[in-house]
A and B are shown apart, each in its own frame.
Chain A
């Protein structure tokens, strides 16, 4: 089982705002990073660190962290945002890296 917990599925109406959350003890000390994965494709980094977007990622993607919860917010979700989203952070004790179980986002 993952040591970062994500809701398995979330849906959002086209153009509306959605927040995807990630919870875990390691988030007290480390920021979460977020990845988007579409079927048959490799994951793509969308948010890293405190709230940084790699080049080419639309500014409708943003991240935040509070206590043991990290959030990925998509403001004005588009059809192309439908994907599985994973969070990750550095493990708080033994492991190097840990991933959340993933959240499947459906855009209605």
Chain B
């Protein structure tokens, strides 16, 4: 059974830093691209960042570029999101999501974690 378990969410002051982790199990982690997707309270889904299966390619939404860094350790089956210079508007539940295997002209997330809550407030 595929499982994605996020951790690391917390209450942090504006300008602070936080590192999220997502521990994967039930599949060959090193074969799949992964993403972080966030959801602010009462709002919709917002894609944040993605990383290729080997980890050599990374992608970011404009709203977090230069502040967040995605990484992975395939030996530990773990995905990370280093969040620096946090802003009030970064407050959200952060989900890690597995990108499904290649389908022509499509990108999709076939498994999601329950998420970890990041609250940025003074």
**A42-B95, A42-B113, A101-B44 known; A33-B59 Cβ under 8 A:** no
A/B interface sample: 14 pairs, CB < 8 A:
A33-B109, A35-B109, A37-B45, A41-B114, A42-B95, A42-B114, A43-B112, A49-B103, A49-B104, A90-B105, A90-B106, A99-B46, A101-B44, A102-B45
Interface size class of B (residues with CB under 8 A): 20 to 34
Which residue of A2, A31, A96, A101 is within 8 Å of B105 (Cβ)?
A: A31
- Residue ID in chain A nearest B44 by CB atoms: A102
Binding site for B on A (CB under 8 A): 2, 29-31, 33, 35, 37, 41-45, 48-50, 52, 54, 84, 86, 88-90, 94-102
Tell me the B80-122 residues at the A interface (CB within 8 Å): 95, 100, 103-110, 112-115
Contacts of A50 on B, CB cut-off 8 Å?
Answer: 106
B32 within 8 A of A: no
Task: Tell me whether A86 and B44 are in contact (CB under 8 A).
Answer: yes
| Distance A37 CA – B50 CA, assembled complex (angstroms) | 21
Contacts of B35 on A, CB cut-off 8 Å?
Answer: 96-97
Which residue of A42, A48, A86, A102 is within 8 Å of B100 (Cβ)?
A: A48
Which residue of A30, A88, A94 is within 8 Å of B47 (Cβ)?
A: A88
Binding site for A on B (CB under 8 A): 35, 37, 44-47, 50, 59, 61-62, 95, 100, 103-110, 112-115
Task: Tell me whether A49 and B106 are in contact (CB under 8 A).
Answer: yes
- Residue ID in chain B nearest A6 by CB atoms: B44
Task: Tell me whether B103 and A48 are in contact (CB under 8 A).
Answer: yes
| Distance A43 CA – B50 CA, assembled complex (angstroms) | 17
| Distance A88 CA – B109 CA, assembled complex (angstroms) | 9
- Residue ID in chain A nearest B102 by CB atoms: A49
Task: Tell me whether A96 and B44 are in contact (CB under 8 A).
Answer: no
| Distance A1 CA – B115 CA, assembled complex (angstroms) | 23
| Distance A99 CA – B100 CA, assembled complex (angstroms) | 16
Cβ of B29 to closest chain A Cβ, rounded Å: 18
